[in-house]
């Protein structure tokens, strides 16, 4: 600090019992769902949950913008300055209202325009998303594309999106229903798609070849930020490592959907050991506990604390997930999130330490977060 040109005029702050750290990066969330608020995961399973989100999704740009503004306030409450935000689709094409809110709102990172494109060639979903991406040039936040998931976007939709050269994100290997529909062309996800009139012969031909969701997208892994990965075999991990994929893991989302009861413990430590960078995200506010939202809004430190307490993961590993892999996942230099001499930090936060050790004190903290 003494080498900084502003040192001579610096004001000294005494923050006893607090740990000071760089501001946070949330690698995966859905800010335009903030108006729905935390909700329990009901008895109807994943399909009923998706119906709830679909019916709760706003359609007017003004209302979508307001929900996103609430989401930005919740990010800031959680000491967060950068995000991988998923911009939802309305009437077949992503609304640009969230991008306009994020641009210049003190939030860095990437806004991924989400689309659904299950037809064999991806039309019209991918065409509409590409058109929207061409309609806007945000200044302070980057633009990306998100084919929703392998059960809602065809492989050719991924290929056509990749041709645009924007950063790309997708939900992958999240549920047993996803595994069933991809590998066997069967199960509740197939029934849900059939109920929406989307299960045509062409769509059926995309699936049922015994592949895992990760293998199903093997040709696109190199350009994807893949989100969730609850369902992972050793072969899947090898595919991800060889492709150079980046991962966003949302621990409380996986726990909320009971993924560990189906697939066993999440394999984020195996991914890290294989050299795959794993960042932390929260997913939407819907799957977060009300009390943590009340205290810290939408906050990845609460995700890190779950891994510390549940898995005994070393604080140093968690800091690397937060401050090295997090920025990289959303297209930012990690130097803006490291307290090195001469660093141009994206932000600085303080929180009451949860332990005398500084690294553990940060990830074990539970109290409100303030910006310095």
CB of 174 to Zn ion, least distance (A): 9
Near Zn ion in 258-317, by CB under 5 A: 283
State the nearest-atom distance from the C-beta of 243 to Zn ion, in Å: 21
Size of the site for Zn ion (CB under 5 A): 1
3-class DSSP string for 338-367: CCCCCCCCCCEEEEECCCCCHHHHHHCCCC
Strands 224-228, 246-249: pairing is parallel
Q: Considering the complex, what minimum distance in angstroms separates the CB of residue 239 from Zn ion?
A: 21
Helix, coil or strand: residue 307: helix
Contact 300, 319 (CB under 8 A): no
Give the largest CA-CA distance in the chain. Answer: 72
CB nearer to Zn ion: give 157 or 227: 227
Per-residue x/- track, 55-84, Zn ion (CB under 5 A): ------------------------------
Instruction: Find all residues with CB under 8 Å of 14, minimum gap 6, and list them.
Output: none
C-beta separation of 157 from 122 below 8 A: yes
Minimum distance between the CB of residue 84 and Zn ion, rounded to whole angstroms? 9
Q: Which is nearer to Zn ion, 178 or 283 (CB)?
A: 283
| Contacts of Zn ion in 217-236 (CB under 5 A) | none
Coil, helix or strand at residue 228: strand
Comparison of 236 and 283: residue with beta carbon closer to Zn ion: 283
Smallest separation (angstroms) from Zn ion to the CB of 272: 21
**Closer of 231 and 283 to Zn ion (Cβ):** 283
CA pair distance 231, 223, nearest whole angstrom: 20
- Which CB sits closer to Zn ion, 298 or 349? 298
How far, in Å, are 238, 260, 273, 319, 353 from residue 360 at the CA level? Answer: 31, 25, 21, 9, 8
Q: Which is nearer to Zn ion, 110 or 365 (CB)?
A: 110
Give the residue at shortest CB distance from Zn ion. 283
Closest contact distance (angstroms) between CB of 168 and Zn ion is 14
Buried b (16+ CB within 10 A) or exposed e, 78-94: bbbbbbbbbbbbbeebb
- Give contact residues for Zn ion (rule: CB under 5 A): 283
């Amino acid at each position: 600090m003494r080498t900084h040109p502003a040192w001579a005029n610096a004001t000294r702050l005494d923050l006893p019992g607090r740990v000071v750290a760089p501001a946070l990066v949330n690698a995966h969330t859905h800010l335009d769902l903030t108006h729905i608020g935390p909700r329990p995961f009901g008895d109807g399973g994943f399909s009923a949950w998706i119906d709830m989100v679909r019916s709760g999704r706003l359609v007017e740009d003004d209302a979508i913008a307001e929900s996103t503004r609430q989401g930005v306030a919740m990010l800031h409450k959680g000491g967060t300055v950068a995000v991988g935000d998923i911009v939802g689709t309305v009437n077949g094409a992503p609304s640009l209202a969230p991008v306009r809110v994020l641009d210049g709102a003190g939030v860095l990172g990437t806004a991924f325009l989400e689309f659904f494109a299950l037809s064999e060639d991806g039309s019209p979903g991918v065409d509409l998303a590409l058109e929207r991406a061409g309609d806007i040039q945000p200044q302070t936040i980057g633009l990306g594309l998100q084919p929703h998931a392998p059960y809602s976007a065809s492989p050719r939709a991924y290929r056509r999106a990749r041709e645009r050269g924007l950063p790309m994100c997708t939900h992958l290997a999240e549920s047993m229903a996803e595994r069933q529909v991809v590998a066997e062309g069967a199960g509740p996800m197939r029934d849900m798609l059939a109920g929406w009139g989307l299960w045509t012969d062409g769509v059926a031909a995309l699936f049922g070849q015994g592949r895992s969701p990760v293998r199903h997208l093997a040709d696109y892994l190199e350009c994807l930020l893949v989100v969730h990965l609850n369902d992972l075999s050793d072969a899947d991990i090898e595919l991800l490592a060889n492709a150079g994929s980046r991962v966003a893991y949302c621990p409380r989302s996986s726990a909320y959907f009971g993924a560990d009861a189906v697939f066993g413990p999440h394999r984020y430590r195996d991914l890290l050991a294989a050299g795959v960078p794993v960042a932390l995200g929260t997913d939407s506010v819907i799957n977060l506990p009300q009390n943590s939202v009340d205290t810290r809004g939408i906050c990845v430190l609460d995700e890190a604390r779950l891994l510390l307490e549940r898995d005994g993961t070393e604080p140093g590993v968690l800091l690397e997930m937060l401050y090295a892999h997090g920025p990289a996942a959303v297209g930012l230099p990690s130097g803006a999130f490291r307290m090195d001499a001469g660093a141009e930090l994206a932000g600085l936060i303080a929180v009451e330490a949860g332990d005398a050790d500084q690294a553990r004190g940060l990830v074990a903290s539970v109290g409100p977060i303030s910006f310095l």
